[in-house]
Amino acid sequence: MKNFTALLTALALASAIPAELASAASFEITTTIQSSLDKTIAGATQTQANRISSLYTEFLNLQKQEQDWEAKISTLHSRNKDTSAELGKQAKDIDSAKLAKLEEEITRTRARHQPLLSQYAALNKQIEAARSLKSKSLSALLRFQAAAMKIPVQLARLDISAKVKASQAAKDKASKATKKIRSSLNEIDPINVQIKAKQGAIKTIQNSLSPIWTAFKQGAKKEDTNAVQSSLTSMISLSRQMNTEKESIFKLETKISEALVAIKAQIP
């Protein structure tokens, strides 16, 4: 058997392939394929055997890198997704406790002053009634009572008005903060568009890899060293492209993560 050293190298590499790698890359090195590849390497010239072994090693390394990028992307994407959702919720609830407290103060203030305001309103109706009865003495008495209540009533109305204005000012401030947060979150959308474009490019690469993978298996089955070497070379080129795209996606997800940290700092 030729190139026994190369054969041992290939076998060692095959045993090092993680089970999850085959699933992630959709390239399953079955026992049959490995056996065919071993025979192809064993039947090759020393130069070709070394070349195929080297290409095979590189291909497996690239597949491992792809799996690593995928894991990193998945972890970061999930974290970004959760963070974005949480920030959206926080933006909606900005100062919600403070606003609720101010509304309660308005309700309590109105309730506290309502007896006085109701009494004053009733008194003014009585004045109108006395005027229609043309009772000067009664009208004078009622007007005197109304005059005595005028300042307390004004103070009560000012108190209510101040509470309403404070609440409205707080609502406006919270609304502006909410809009600012949502606007900042929307600014992340173009990055997501870039990620989708990268994902589309990866899909195209995967579609290109599929027939080459088939050619690789057929070449190994026929012990066609030229076909195996050519297929490995093409798969390595495409795998490099895929890793480049996935690295870009990871960088974009990192950019989103950094943007989310900055947005979180804006929340009061």
In whole numbers, what is the pLDDT of the chain averaged over residues? 86
Model confidence at 138, in pLDDT bands (50, 70, 90)? confident
pLDDT, tens digit (0-9, with 9 covering 90-100), for 225-266: 999 999 999 999 999 999 999 999 999 999 999 999 999 998
Q: What's the pLDDT score for residue 134?
A: 72
| pLDDT at position 152 | 93
Biggest CA-to-CA distance, the chain: 132
Q: What is the dihedral of CA 200, 206, 212, 214, to 10 degrees?
A: -140
Distance CA 134, CA 128 (A): 10
Which residue is it, tokens 């970004």?
80
Instruction: Give the mean model confidence (pLDDT) for residues 10-38.
Output: 56
Q: Any idea what the Cα angle at residue 93 is, between residues 87 and 94, rounded to 5°?
A: 85
The dihedral sign for the CA sequence 89, 94, 97, 101: negative
Whole-model pTM: value is: 0.74
H/E stretch holding 224:
none
**What distances in angstroms separate CA 111 from CA 107, 114, 164, one per listed residue?**
6, 5, 14
